[in-house]
Chains A and B, each alone.
Chain A
Amino acid sequence: MNEMNQYRGYEPVIGLEVHCELDTATKMFCGCSNSFGDVPNTNICPVCLALPGSLPVVNSTAVEYAARIGIALHCKVQPSIFHRKNYFYPDMPKDYQISQYDEPINVDGWLDLPMSGVRIGIERAHMEEDTGKTTHMGGGGRIHDSAYSLVDYNRAGVPLIEIVSRPDIHSAEQAREYVSELRMILVSIGVSKARMEEGSLRVDANVSVRPIGSDTLGTRCEVKNLNSLRSLTRAIEYEIVRQVELLETGEAVVQQTRHWDEAGGMTIALRSKEEAHDYRYFAEPDLVRVDLGDERIDQIAAELPDTPEKRRMRLMEVIQSVESLPSDSVGDVGYDNAAVSDGTDTRQPNRVGNVITVVEMGLDHLVIAALEGGVTADRALSRTLNEAAARIEDADKLDPAAYTKLLMMEQDGKLTATQAKAVLQSMMDGGGDPELIASTMGFEAMDSSEMMDIVAGIVRDHPDEWRRYKNGEAKLAQFFVGQAMKITRGKANGREVISMLDQIKQ
């Protein structure tokens, strides 16, 4: 369906604020351990409890991680200062949050969505600290009617990066794609576990709608409590429809903060603009300007692990060189979706999808090794995406050289597909040389004259099927291959069997 007509002539405009906990050893402003799931209130000290007289000291690793994020998101990484964001809340020990305001560390970047190829602007990615965690006991778990509340300050002071997109997102699906790609970037550059289910990646969505063709932004609502990609897309979808319906019935959208109710499948108003906090920002006098310096930033950039975008490009390049495809038919993955949508090469959309998936699973190094070792792209992608991906933790430990060797053995007919898969499982169980494993399993390549006898025998024993196959019922090839597999207990090479059938036919 055409997206433009999906919402009765309205276009959704979405900006996302993503909070990401940095995976540093210690907290943002003190030496307490930064770890998830410990016994409550065990990782605390005078600083993160805001005892009188305590002072913050910036965690330099957190600053470097922030710079990595900035570089990966093509931001300008600049000298920055901290501000205090003042508001009272029981789980915020100082009753102000140390954050960044008008001079954040990262500004003006972008992120390209790999499938849809849309470029989303990044307004800023700034440093701040997390709050503690309050559990409201009784009264439905909300602060207002609870009997009492328990606060765990282990999370108070954990380093956070808030990544603010520009309102360049125009569908729930794009929002999902953005968060998914951002998550992959954060994990691959080693700065965060970015687990939505653990709260180390949290998303707020600013949603508005406007008539298609309009340049002005509609009144927005901020939707909170989006704890999974599923709730993100559902909440945005709900919110778009809610706003369109309001406008269609002549009502106005009220600027609000809204809470996503996962069970009820709806957003609920939390507070309006008038009730919004006045955070009384001012420059944090306990901290000084943070300036990594150009030299250090260059060094961080040079040492930055490849982003998914770079890895996809690299994988595509290798595939392209193996298949000798003209470069313009491949396109630059993540930069230009023309090649995938113009339909000139039907294999390409699939290739792009495969490449995205392989990189997402972190198995691109295996595919590249295989391709460079002479394995065809189809075989390398298929074995990786099917067999290896099914056991991703084990696949990650595979020796790329051994993996390549296995795939070459299969390609050279030394192993049948079935045998190759069995050897691969064994390699993922405990590693080892594929040749050795194959011989231990008794997978010796069959002598081809012996194989010819077996195939001829199958043809003799199944005259009906043979007649139909000869008359052009090509799919019966699988029947003969299956019979050959049965007789040889999997040692037969399917492709060899088919070529032998062809020889007999002639």
Chain B
Amino acid sequence: MTVRRGFTTTGWAATLAAMIRNGEVSAREVSSRYLDAITELNPSLNAFTTTTVESALEQAEQVDRLVARGEDPGPLCGIPVAVKDNLCTRGIPTTCSSRMLDGWCPPYSATVVEALRQAGAVILGKTNMDEFAMGSSTETSVYGVTHNPYNLERVPGGSSGGSAAAVASGMAVVALGSDTGGSIRQPASLCGVVGMKPTYGTVSRFGLIAFASSLDQVGPFGRSVQDVALAYSVIAGYDSMDSTSLKVSFDGHSRFLQLDDSNISTRGVGNTLKGRLDGERASSAVAVAGRTTGTVQVGSRDLGIYTDEVLNAPVDGIRVGILKEISDSIAPDVHRRVMEAAEALATLGARVDEVSIPELSYALPAYYLIAPAEASSNLARYDGIRYGLRVEDEDVVSMMSATRSSGFGSEVKRRIMLGTYALSAGYYDAYYGQAQRVRTVLIEAFLRAYNDFDVLIGATAPTTAFGLGEKIGDPLTMYMSDVCTIPSNLAGHPSISVPYGTGDDGLPVGVQVLAPALGEPVMFSVAATLERVAPELQPPKLYHDGSLYYKNAYLQEADR
């Protein structure tokens, strides 16, 4: 392996961090290269809505100073990152891509943003998104659409389309997004990168501008499972500022680099961890079920062992279920890739079988009652009184009304109306109440399936990237884009999308790995395995000289 291999703007987080830590390259040089890439590519992609050149270079220089003094700046040492624009960044505009918050600068940073900084990451800017994270194509942004790096006429997916496109195009090494119904995984799938939604409660929501509180979870994008696992280990952890935060313990920087569990058996990491976590799984599953929330006292546990051992763990003996219901509603070319992925796992010794969870068919309707209901309440605060847009009118009531009419786009208004209706007196039981009961039923169905399987797999999205403008006029068709991803949000379970070849149109396909609550380790093991065996995915051809090139870090290791 040549040291400068892949280092233009295509370094993998752990490798690049090690290079910066060892002084092989300065953080400043790395950030400059990435900022140059943004300058060159962003005009055609519109992935970033704000870039923070000055503060990025300052952060990079600070990292270099620490390195010069012989200190370790952290696991993301000098790594350029992008942050979705619904995560508060102190003094940096945080807008949710909405006219309502245009230009609003929060006086505080989200816990996850602080965690990135403390881990040595360099924040390059804020990324475009569907307005208030409501959408599956990044077309509802007030700042215009983001384009798919693989085909500028296609959507990047959404709502975290900007973060997905930034990572796919090499404008950032890793990026943060938020996932309420698939908003990380679906754009990851459409843009050919890895994207993960963590177990609800393992990543703080403090500073994440709420869409649907019981479903929202912050998660990372990266070009490899390893990058995503590394970024996750940085942002995960208990936060006293978020009452739904789980008390899961991590032990500083070593959590990724060192293995501290001597009980890893030859049967594979997943099964061993499953045994360890089994006792707590039921209670945490209830804890994320919203209405039936239990007192969260999960106790001390160490999930932070995303080591090479975890990522390289063999999958033989691991029980993999192919989700029938997800397979039924997807395009044939996407389905073919899912079946190939399953076969590959079977070849490696996994016990693969099809599994049916009929309750999954109720997930989409339940989601479109619960999410808008919570959103209708969460978005009430944008009333023109304290911050953001104010449209003056003759009295306070009409001012509030005028502000909200003007500040919100039509998709946001549609969901506020849906949610308000679902919670109204006389309709609550039939809609919101019923949807919550469905949620409980769904969690129970998942738990039954996990008696027989360690992970479940399926497509991440029904199709590859669709055309700009293709679905924006038809909300119901657009909502169907999330049919594969929504169940994990309702259950509070972790899920990851890994690129697995392309569809008939040559665009990336993602395979989704679902795991039970706190099942991240086994999820990462299976995802990393899929990544190793996946058909090679060519990078998007965005540069004239074709210099943007990357492929799986582990294959490169093996090639050497």
Which residues of A line the B interface, CB within 8 A?
46, 49-58, 79, 81, 84, 86, 88, 90, 93-96, 143-144, 149, 151, 278, 280-283, 285-291
Are A285 and B374 in contact (CB-based, < 8 A)? yes
Question: Cβ of B206 < 8 Å from any Cβ of A?
Answer: yes
Contacts of A151 in B (CB 8 A): 385
Are A288 and B241 in contact (CB-based, < 8 A)? no
Known: A90-B383, A95-B383. A53 touches B240 (CB 8 A): no
Are B377 and A280 in contact (CB-based, < 8 A)? yes
Question: Cβ of B420 < 8 Å from any Cβ of A?
Answer: yes
List 7 other contacts, CB 8 Å, given A151-B385, A280-B377, A289-B293.
Answer: A52-B94, A53-B106, A55-B241, A55-B243, A84-B377, A88-B380, A285-B212
Contacts of A58 in B (CB 8 A): 243
A291 to B397, CA, bound (A): 39
Contacts of A278 in B (CB 8 A): 424-425
A285 to B386, CA, bound (A): 23
The 7 closest A-B pairs by CB, nearest first: A95-B380, A280-B423, A285-B214, A285-B213, A52-B209, A53-B207, A53-B88
Question: Which chain B residue shows the least CB distance to A278?
Answer: B425
Chain A binding surface, main DSSP class: loop
Minimum CB–CB distance from A263 to chain B (whole Å) comes to: 25
Minimum CB–CB distance from B50 to chain A (whole Å) comes to: 16
A151 to B291, CA, bound (A): 33
A52 to B206, CA, bound (A): 10
Question: Cβ of B40 < 8 Å from any Cβ of A?
Answer: no
Known: A50-B386, A52-B96. A288 touches B287 (CB 8 A): yes
What is the number of residues of chain B that contact chain A, defined by CB distance less than 8 Å?
Answer: 52
Q: CB-CB contacts of B364-377 with A at 8 A, as 1s and 0s?
A: 00000000011011
Contacts of A49 in B (CB 8 A): 386
A461 to B8, CA, bound (A): 123
Are A288 and B293 in contact (CB-based, < 8 A)? yes
A95 to B254, CA, bound (A): 43
Minimum CB–CB distance from A274 to chain B (whole Å) comes to: 12
Question: Cβ of B295 < 8 Å from any Cβ of A?
Answer: yes
The listed residue with most A CB atoms (<10 A of its CB), out of B290, B294, B383, is: B383
A81 to B423, CA, bound (A): 18
Question: Cβ of B244 < 8 Å from any Cβ of A?
Answer: yes
Known: A54-B206, A84-B377. A149 touches B396 (CB 8 A): yes
Known: A52-B96, A53-B110. A282 touches B373 (CB 8 A): yes
> Could you say which of B287, B400, B424 contacts A280, with CB atoms under 8 Å apart?
B424
Contacts of B242 in A (CB 8 A): 55, 57
Question: Which chain B residue shows the least CB distance to A56?
Answer: B243
Contacts of A90 in B (CB 8 A): 383, 385, 396, 400
| 30 A-B pairs with C-beta separation under 8 A | A51-B107, A51-B386, A52-B94, A53-B87, A53-B88, A53-B110, A53-B206, A53-B207, A53-B209, A55-B205, A57-B241, A86-B380, A88-B380, A90-B396, A93-B386, A95-B381, A95-B383, A143-B396, A149-B396, A280-B423, A280-B425, A285-B244, A285-B290, A286-B213, A286-B243, A287-B243, A288-B293, A288-B296, A289-B295, A290-B295
The listed residue with most B CB atoms (<10 A of its CB), out of A79, A96, A283, A285, is: A285
Which residues of B line the A interface, CB within 8 A?
86-88, 94, 96, 101, 104, 106-108, 110, 205-210, 212-214, 240-244, 287, 290-291, 293-296, 373-374, 376-377, 380-381, 383, 385-387, 395-397, 400, 420, 423-425, 428, 432
Known: A285-B213, A288-B295. A94 touches B206 (CB 8 A): no
The listed residue with most B CB atoms (<10 A of its CB), out of A52, A90, A285, is: A52
Known: A46-B107, A53-B209. A283 touches B423 (CB 8 A): no
> Could you say which of A57, A143, A144, A282 contacts B240, with CB atoms under 8 Å apart?
A57
Question: Which chain A residue shows the least CB distance to B404?
Answer: A88
The listed residue with most B CB atoms (<10 A of its CB), out of A51, A94, A283, A287, is: A51
Are B101 and A288 in contact (CB-based, < 8 A)? no
A287 to B396, CA, bound (A): 30
Question: Which chain A residue shows the least CB distance to B204?
Answer: A55
Known: A287-B243, A288-B287. A50 touches B381 (CB 8 A): yes
Contacts of B205 in A (CB 8 A): 55
Contacts of A57 in B (CB 8 A): 240-243
Contacts of A289 in B (CB 8 A): 293-295
Question: Which chain A residue shows the least CB distance to B290?
Answer: A285
Are A86 and B244 in contact (CB-based, < 8 A)? no
A358 to B208, CA, bound (A): 55
Contacts of B397 in A (CB 8 A): 88
Minimum CB–CB distance from A135 to chain B (whole Å) comes to: 13
Question: Which chain A residue shows the least CB distance to B132?
Answer: A52
Are B106 and A96 in contact (CB-based, < 8 A)? no
The listed residue with most B CB atoms (<10 A of its CB), out of A53, A81, A95, A291, is: A53
Contacts of B241 in A (CB 8 A): 55, 57
Minimum CB–CB distance from B484 to chain A (whole Å) comes to: 24
A369 to B356, CA, bound (A): 77
Contacts of A81 in B (CB 8 A): 293
Contacts of A88 in B (CB 8 A): 380, 383, 397, 400
Known: A54-B206, A95-B380, A280-B423. A288 touches B108 (CB 8 A): no
A90 to B106, CA, bound (A): 21
Contacts of A96 in B (CB 8 A): 377, 380
Contacts of A286 in B (CB 8 A): 210, 213, 243-244
Contacts of A285 in B (CB 8 A): 212-214, 244, 290, 374
Question: Which chain B residue shows the least CB distance to A293?
Answer: B295
A314 to B149, CA, bound (A): 81
Are A51 and B387 in contact (CB-based, < 8 A)? yes
A282 to B375, CA, bound (A): 12
A419 to B294, CA, bound (A): 67
Are A52 and B293 in contact (CB-based, < 8 A)? no
Question: Which chain B residue shows the least CB distance to A280?
Answer: B423
A307 to B296, CA, bound (A): 34
Are B243 and A282 in contact (CB-based, < 8 A)? no
A289 to B291, CA, bound (A): 9
Question: Which chain A residue shows the least CB distance to B207?
Answer: A53
Contacts of B400 in A (CB 8 A): 88, 90
A428 to B456, CA, bound (A): 79
> Could you say which of B88, B293, B377 contacts A282, with CB atoms under 8 Å apart?
B377
Minimum CB–CB distance from B389 to chain A (whole Å) comes to: 13
A149 to B287, CA, bound (A): 42
